[in-house]
A = this chain, B = another copy of it.
Amino acid sequence: MFLSELMSVEKALKIIKNVEIGFYNEKIGLKDAYNRVIAENVKSLLDSPPFDKSAMDGYAIKAENTFGFSETNPAYFKIVDRISAGQLSNVNLKNGEAVQIATGTPIPEGANAVVMEEYTHAKSNDLEVATTLTPGENISFRGEDIKKGELVLNTGKLLRPQDLAIMASAGHDKIRVYKKPVVNVITTGNELVKPTSRLQGGQIINSNYYTLKSLVESCLAVPELSHCIDDHNLMKEQLKRSLKASDVIITTGGTAISKGDVVVDVVGEMGEILIHGVSIRPGKPFAFGIIDKKPVFMLSGYPVAAMVQFDVFIRSYLMQMQNIDWKPVPVSKIASKKIPSTLGRMDYVRGKIEGEVVHPQMIKGSGVMRSMVKSDCYIIIEENLEGIDEGESCDVLMYDRLKV
């Protein structure tokens, strides 16, 4: 198939984007919710802090009793109670009285300020306060952080440590989040074997197994791996099992464009092929289909092509399924040498960034994994460009920024 017959990347992405996504959610323990996306608006069940509490270790007093006093002219108090963390004082504090108080404990009735220990001098129950306090000083007031009934988190947020903290403070120990999609990866190919130092004639190590598993993990989704040889019926059986067990299917291999190839044939028979062949390099033999409303992404058997296809066509889909607000954001760099390309084709050239410059890794062959290992970014050459000149600025997508 020639370039003119291939689908543009833009059109392919539009087709994939239009596939209805099944959003599922589940309730999980708050302690397991880091890096998950919240699927509900959450209101606080209580005020936080739940009572006026001391923000310091020190003494609860009436601020008025310190007015006009200072380091050289201290005010005198009588210590009438001492409370440590988790305790309450029953004292109703009067003028000239002080209650020793720990950080986080409730302010006793009658007190309206806390003087830090640093500004006091105590001897038995006699206390000198060497400063002037304003009412409210060193008190965290009830509801200051969160008020009961207040919205604390909105649906759709990727949960960070502080978001879990506010959920907890709002009284919740469970949280409703979007489910992680289960992604069944089927590597295909009679020739593929596990890593070994002793290959037999014609055997190739199945490196896609490892790449695809970790690529799926980098999207916070759950990979399930299987392997199938190039056999129509076995592939059909495998796809049936995978459809039952997962939300998304990814295959590698068997997507040749020029002739019938097992994977695309079987998917077409069981469902509908919406894309077959995209004007991208590497990655031209990409296919996409739907079986029983589930998306089937068919990647090339070539390791580098498969990685590029994953990053271009699958990554954002898996993010969307979890409602993660994610976009690949290219940065601008200067090309250290000329990068040829062809009008009408999108190129993902591997690059290595050095300051403001990017060095294209001109290693030929889409099977050459070394180009991915030695690089830290894709240089994206859009369809309307015939290449990038030396010294010209170009769009660069850093691998590090692809994951969540």
A: residues with CB less than 8 A from B are 1-2, 30-31, 34-35, 45-46, 48-51, 53, 55, 57, 84-88, 103-106, 116-118, 140, 144-146, 152-153, 160-173, 189-192, 194-197, 199, 201-215, 217-218, 225, 229-230, 253, 256, 258-259, 301-303, 307, 365-370, 372-373, 399
* Contacts A/B (CB < 8 Å), 10 sampled: A34-B218, A48-B369, A57-B256, A86-B190, A106-B202, A162-B307, A167-B210, A169-B195, A169-B207, A171-B205
Cβ of B191 and Cβ of A117 under 8 Å apart?
no
Q: Which of B48, B51, B104 contacts A301 (CB 8 A)?
A: B104
Minimum CB–CB distance from A294 to chain B (whole Å) comes to 24
Q: Contacts A105-B191, A171-B205, A209-B168 known; A163 to B373 CB distance under 8 Å?
A: yes
Set of chain B residues within 8 Å of A116, measured between Cβ atoms: 258
Cβ of B202 and Cβ of A86 under 8 Å apart?
yes
Minimum CB–CB distance from A298 to chain B (whole Å) comes to 14
Q: Which of B34, B171, B369, B373 contacts A213 (CB 8 A)?
A: B34
Set of chain B residues within 8 Å of A209, measured between Cβ atoms: 31, 168
A160 to B215, CA, bound (A): 9
Minimum CB–CB distance from A102 to chain B (whole Å) comes to 8
Q: Which of B168, B204, B372 contacts A210 (CB 8 A)?
A: B168
Q: Contacts A166-B207, A208-B165 known; A1 to B190 CB distance under 8 Å?
A: no
Set of chain B residues within 8 Å of A50, measured between Cβ atoms: 199, 203-204
